[in-house]
Chain A
């Protein structure tokens, strides 16, 4: 008997569930068939459109010779650097700005709510028109940005998209422009979920401003912040539209990221295997992220 209770220490939840089940009764006969039938449509979609393409992709990219060809390609090398910069700088800067802005939007007052309505506009506008607009805005000769620079300071701005680093910078800044509102709203919801008692207690103890943020708000938000950063990293890794529409991978294919390089190899160069290989080379970075994230999403009590 004693050994049973020792074993049960870590298992209270499963045991309670089975007790629960025995009270309610297992699904029987036709009910089980119904339950199974309800799952079938999703399982069908999953097998046909996720498992099958994934396995097919793995098979397409399974030749080792592809990777030696890929790694020796200078375009691929610059692509890896771009991808790391895009994710490293873009995602972290965006999340940090979102964290700070979510604090700003906690302020009371109707004008803060109006600001929030304006602020979420980049998220509401579909990606395609905004990125095409940014592409045109950054045109060296006729773009709005250089026209503004000239009108205000009489400076002739550079052709932003004709040089690798300014073009990559433009992509990162546009990413921040497009996605900060979304994450701000998420973090704002996280902040609102913090019970007011905690804030009041902190105020009574004399914590204000910076100290309250560091010792009270941030520790409570840390888990949410981490999950958001990981999710955003994965979404950004697969982001195709930004680079494709703002720089088109140019100048001279120097600003590709893995997602656009894969599509370029597969369709512009008509080498689908090489395209799959480019995408697959992100797996060493992606798999650990996916594992950590799946655990976090499943166990986390934080309401996202």
Chain B
């Protein structure tokens, strides 16, 4: 049987093994591509469903939230309008609270950068004796879960009279952001030749001049990465802000957002609209600074 087929296709016989291999490879590539497409579809649905839910609920009028629709039948921006004009009693001080969040974020970013870069400069550039003590302290803080220190931290802040004070939150956030900063700065600083410091020293520069004129400018990429990290950490954190800030005037946005859950008949559309307004800033920063962020992450360590 087979001889007949061979005979009839004799002219192409020499090309055949290659042809067959190519066909197998093509089919294989086809199967791989289909598999990849299916995986993509699953990933998209998986990733976007909870986010779609936020957007959908925020666009529903209040009456439609408690219905079985899976697509907003009469979408409206009313919820956002209420949030922007502070037209609901949980949102009375929304912009003030937004300002609080910004204030905390800015303070945490600046302090983390200052404290972290000073410490790492001292350890890695000036090579202070026993600098390993500082880096070990930082590493230890990095691997302690934040929430485990919350209860004693709260009581200490109470006894200092710092309850409902934004600085108590700033202190907590700086505490948890600096270890990672020191870790990354030390790693990044290794790539900057020490000879630069040496020559400046010989020319009579003081340590503080070296820090400002040589170290900080050369560390700029790492500073951006860590600054973003600290800002997002402070912006997204909930537990400490919830424990330490309970007054309407000192609250930050996440605490105000979670407050909606206290009432039985939560206005879910307003809550989701608030959530979107709150989330826009971090998402924008993520996508703008993403490359530098991942550069920072691949340089040194990891933190969510």
Contact = CB atoms under 8 A, between A and B. Distances in A.
Interface of A: 21, 24, 27, 30-32, 34-36, 38-39, 41-43, 45-46, 48-50, 52-54, 56-57, 60, 101, 104, 107, 111, 115, 117-130, 132-134, 136-137, 141-142, 144, 147-148, 150-151, 174, 177, 179, 181-182, 185-186, 189, 193, 228, 231, 234-235, 237-241, 245, 259, 262-263, 266-267, 272, 275-276, 279, 282, 286, 289-290, 293-294, 297-298, 303-304
Contacts of A240: 147, 150, 238-239
B282 A57 contact: no
Nearest to B39: A104
Interface in B51-66: 51-54, 56-57, 65-66
B50 A177 contact: yes
Nearest to A227: B302
B54 A45 contact: no
B239 to A, nearest CB: 5
Contacts of B257: 128-129, 132
A96 to B, nearest CB: 15
B255 to A, nearest CB: 10
B297 interface: yes
Contacts of A45: 115, 171, 174-175, 178
Closest 6 A/B residue pairs (Cβ): A238-B145, A129-B275, A38-B122, A124-B286, A57-B152, A42-B119
Interface of B: 36, 39-40, 43-44, 46-54, 56-57, 65-70, 114-116, 118-119, 121-123, 126-129, 131, 134, 136-141, 143-156, 171-172, 174-175, 178, 182, 194, 198, 206-208, 211, 235-236, 238-239, 243, 254, 257-258, 261, 268, 271-272, 275-276, 278-279, 282-283, 286-287, 290, 294, 297-304
Contacts of B52: 144
Contacts of A141: 66
A242 B33 CA distance: 36
B46 A121 contact: no
